[in-house]
Structure formats: C-alpha cells, structure tokens
Structure 1
Amino acid sequence: MTATPQTEPIEIATLAGGCFWCLEAVFDRLAGVQQVVSGYMGGRVDEPTYKQICKGDTGHAEVVQISFNPTVISFGELLEVFFAIHDPTTPDRQGNDVGTQYRSAIFFHNPVQEQSARQMVTALTAEQVFPEAIVTQIVPAETFWPAEDYHQGYFEANPNQPYCAAVVAPKVRKVIAKYAERLKQ
C-alpha cells in the first residue's frame, strides 16, 4: 500500500504598494511563498495592458498576487513586510511614481484576511508607526489580470536597470537585513 502525498495548504494574497517590480522582488524571497505574479486589479477594463495602466485611466492598481503556505508564513506576516517596504500614507503615490496605479491597497480574499488587514492598520495607527495617516485601501479582491510576461521576474532579469538599481534593490536589501530569518534558504 502506498501513501498518498500530502499537499501543502495554499492561500492567495493580493497587495498593491507602488510598482509591482518592487513587491514581487521582495515577496518572492520569503519562505513559504510559492509564487508571486505581477498584475493588475481594481479597475474597470478587462484584460488591461501596461500601456493602459500607465495612463492611469483604467482604475487598476499594480499588484502582486502571492501564493503562500500559511503554515510557513501567515497573512499577517506578509502584511508586516508589506507595510515595511512601502509608504502607506501617500495616496496614489510611491516616491516618484504617481497615479492611481501606484496606490496602497490590500485586496482581501476572505473575511479573515479583511479582519487581519484592518487590525494591522489599527495597530500601526495606534503605535504611530507612520507620521501621517495610513491611506491603504482594504477592499475585496476582484478579477486579477496577470501583467505581460516581461514584467514577471523583472528585477531578477534586470537588476542593473536604473529603476531596479535605485528603487527595487534598496527594498530587497532592507528585507534581507530586517527579515533574514524569514527568507528562503
């Protein structure tokens, strides 16, 4: 008699916090994260393109959709990293990236994720972690549209591209230093 293999539990998290290249590069390094896909969510156009998103008139945010094993890394731990690597106090902006596509948002997939996100924002606000009010949207997940193939694994393929070197790399270094115990081996 052969044993049937146990499958790992997998959950999905969808987060928007500026350019998806930054988020993908960071979350892909965390233990328990199975896959990170860059894409778009929260807009009113089906099958949007990067060119449409950059114009800022589709309503989509650049997001990452994270498949993760909750027995290795919790949704709350993903949120902790999320709030550590972007500025959740600037509406429709991350640094020099300006537009609704760069907004801070948590697209929850179930009531537990919604409650966890709201509790995290409440705790960060009470602790006055940020000098301004947190403007991160906490909204139900909608249709996820994967970004074009060339956006997937962008930082890994283009580490010397000026934006990657100036913006993405420092966030990756910060996570490596701050969350070394949570990184993939």
Structure 2
Amino acid sequence: MKQLQLHALMAGATIAMFAAALAVNELFFLRLEFAPGINWLYLPAGVRLLATLLFAEAGAVGLFLVGWAACAFIFFPDDPLRSVAGGFLGAVAPYLVYLVMRRRFGLQASLANLTPARLLCCALVYSIASPLLHHLWFGLAEHKSGLLASFVAMATGDFCGTIVVLYGAKLALHLLAPRRKAG
C-alpha cells in the first residue's frame, strides 16, 4: 500500500508542477503563443520531461491526467477526442524519451549522473519526439496540412522550455545536495 501512496504522491507532484508551469507560461509568455498549446517558450514541456525523469511511470500518469484536463478545460473544451489525445501524447513522448535515456545513460532519480551535456541531449531528443508525435496526430487523425511551421514552433518552444526547467532543476538539486566535509 505504501508503494501506491508513493506513486499517487509522485503523480500529484507532477500535476502540481505542470499546472504551475502552465500558469507561469500563460501569465508571462502568452504573447509567445503560436497556436493554442504551442508556444515559442513552453515551460510545461520541461516539466513533462522532468517529471518522467524523476518519477517514471507515476510521472507519466500525472502528465496524462493534467494534460487531458488542460486540453479539456483550457485549450480545446469542445473537442473531447483531442483532449484525450493531447493528454496521451503529452505523457507518452517524455516517457519514451525517459526509457531511451535510462537505457543509454543509466538514469538515477536524483539526476546526479546527468551531466549538462546529457541534459542537453535529453532536451533535444524530447523536443523533437514530442512535436513529432503531436504532429503525426494532427496530420493523420485531424487531417491538418501545412504542419511544418507549427512543428518548428512547437519543437523550439519545447526545447527552450525544457532547457529552462531541466537546468533549473539540476541547479536546485545541486544546491540542495548535502555537502561532504573535506577531511
């Protein structure tokens, strides 16, 4: 039962972090919006990757729930299918990147073994994977055309937002880590 409580707490932390990042993005970066849910600087994208790096499956579950809610109540309130798809894609892309990076780099929950170069690699892979999955949906399921401009905007915004969030988290973890005494 304690494991279930821990996973629920991690999913809840993910929801809170994502909601906070979305609120900050809406408050300070609304002018950078390319289209609903696509910004030239998108902090929630960074939270998506951070949550999966830290919390794995529990983070992905939290991302699905909060992604669905954001799509259903903010971005696409009249389109329930797109809301579910948005929640799903927003959770699957960072989780897949997490799985690849865990295998490639042997990730630790503390992110201690993620060097700045590895964080950059994670951000780059994620900022391509997430827009790619979303735009495959837009093209195949929604039959949209002319998706190159929105792909570029989403990839750029996801990369910039992910860099800000990941390097900020890495700095915070470094500052909060207990120091060893020289001896």
TM-score, L = length of structure 2: 0.30
Instruction: Pick the structure with more helix per residue.
Output: 2
Instruction: Pick the structure with more strand per residue.
Output: 1
